[in-house]
Amino acid sequence: MTTTLLGGLSPSRFLRDVWHKRPLLIRNAVPGFSGLLSPDEMRQLARREDVESRLIQGSGTPWQLDHGPFKKSDFKHLPKTGWTLLVQSLNHVLPEADALLARFDFIPHARLDDLMVSYAVPGGSVGPHFDSYDVFLLQGEGHRRWQISTQTDLAILDDTPLKILRRFEAEEEWVLGPGDMLYLPPHVAHYGVAEEACMTYSIGFRAPTADELAHGFLMHLQDTLKLEGRYADPDLRRQAHPGEIGRAMLAQIEGMIARIKWGKRDIAEFAGRYLSEPKPNVFFVAPDDPLSRAAFNRQANKAGVALDPKSRLLFADGRFFINGEAFAPAADEIPALKQLADRHRLAAPMPAPLRERLYHWYEAGWLEIDDQ
């Protein structure tokens, strides 16, 4: 199934020859695929406060960008052409979207961002632009014309709410229909325009900047680092200039700061917490009437459990990380936890060593009884 998804390539060959290197058009990547929801269902999602959505109008200049949640009336007077509705993190609210995302598990979960859906009327577009991350563009209903360019000129227009390229010169062009998919590595310029009312599903991947990682790591050190001692100068001598920061003071401060050390385990701990941390707009809903421990164990032992689609469970160096929290499980918990991290599901019967931990996650809304 994965080879069909990747145009006949095995995941290993795709990663070796295509990933992060060159665009790839895949005809009929998902045979029979025509989408996961209707335009009306998408508009309903865009009205929810817990769903990130955007409405883009324009097919040239000027461009107008509005953020949701929207009201029903916002969609009543839109023109028949030239607008696009975007809904982010569809996998958080639609099980079928989460299942589609699972087909891309040949990429580490730590790199995965989310599944975004775009509904566009004829002429609808978000303009010629580039992304700083890898993306798969899977066509649902309708047809969209894609133009791409490997141009190095990535200057963007001023005074627009979108990052639109100032100049775009197409090098290749295709029309994608239902089930077709286009893979693009970072910084490949692309311009998609709806030929007719259509929906496109974008599988995007995380690519934090060095500045974001450095800032996150420094915040991690601030929360976890403890250095003993306090600045002291028992041998202080009078200075010629009281306003000067003396060399002895600078040397002592340098020595105190130089005691800040980190190693591979610290990096792994930071990476696990950082990469599993939910986005700021993600909230978990605890069950209104939670099962008792005994009832949870009975049902889990019959059906198994599944992570809530918003949960992220990762592991590194014997440590596990879920939704920004870290823990070191007992050895007999590790095989089942690895399965849950890899597949987001754990089949029945439920391993006894894990029951207490899983019940706490269930109470927090991080995990549920598997209903598949």
Same domain? For 70 and 31 the reply is yes
3-state helix, strand, coil in the chain (%, to 5): 30, 20, 45
Same domain? For 195 and 217 the reply is no
Same domain? For 223 and 304 the reply is no
With respect to residue 45, please indicate whether it lies within any of the assigned structural domains.
yes
With respect to residue 267, please indicate whether it lies within any of the assigned structural domains.
no
Q: What are phi and psi of 316, to 5 degrees?
A: -160, 135
With respect to residue 94, please indicate whether it lies within any of the assigned structural domains.
yes
Which CATH number covers residue 93?
2.60.120.650
With respect to residue 360, please indicate whether it lies within any of the assigned structural domains.
yes
Burial class (CB in 10 A: 0-12, 13-18, 19+), 145: middle
Same domain? For 167 and 54 the reply is yes
Per-residue confidence in pLDDT tens, the chain, 372 aa:
677 899 999 999 999 999 999 999 999 999 999 999 999 999 999 999 999 999 999 876 689 999 999 999 999 999 999 999 999 999 999 999 999 999 999 999 999 999 999 999 999 999 999 999 999 999 999 999 999 999 999 999 998 899 999 999 999 999 999 999 999 999 999 999 999 999 999 999 999 999 999 999 999 999 998 899 999 999 999 999 999 999 999 999 999 999 999 999 999 999 999 999 999 989 999 999 999 999 999 999 999 999 999 999 999 999 999 999 999 999 999 999 999 999 999 999 888 889 999 999 999 999 999 876
Same domain? For 322 and 250 the reply is no
**Alpha helices, H only, 34-135:** 39-46, 95-102
Same domain? For 199 and 331 the reply is no
Which of 300, 129, 114 lies closest to 204, judged by CA?
A: 114
Q: What are phi and psi of 321, to 5 degrees?
A: -135, 125
Number of domains making up the chain? 3
| CA dihedral sign of residues 348, 351, 354, 359 | positive
CB-CB neighbours of 16 under 10 Å? 11
Residue with the two structure tokens 């340098």: 254
Same domain? For 79 and 100 the reply is yes
Same domain? For 81 and 155 the reply is yes
